[in-house]
Amino acid sequence: MTMSHPTPDLSRTFAALADPTRRAILARLEREEKVSISALAEPFAIKLPAVMKHLDVLADAGLITRSKQGRTVDVRLFPKPLRQAAAWLERYERFWSPRLDRLTALAEKKEAEMHRKNK
Nearer to other proteins, 45 or 71 (CB): 45
Site string for other proteins, 78-107 (x = CB under 8 A): -x--xx-xxx-xx-xx--xxxxxxxxx-xx
Question: Does the protein bind other proteins through residue 111 (CB under 8 A)?
Answer: yes
Site size for other proteins (CB under 8 A): 52
Q: What one-character DSSP code corresponds to residue 24?
A: H
Of the residues 5, 68, 71, 119, which one makes contact with other proteins according to CB under 8 A: 5
Question: With CB under 8 A as the contact rule, which of the stretches 11-19, 37-45, 68-76 interacts with other proteins?
Answer: 11-19
**Is the separation of the CB atoms in 66 and 59 below 8 Å?**
yes
Beta-bridged to residue 73, according to DSSP, are 68
Across the chain, which distance is largest between two alpha carbons, in Å?
Answer: 81
**Is the separation of the CB atoms in 30 and 77 below 8 Å?**
yes
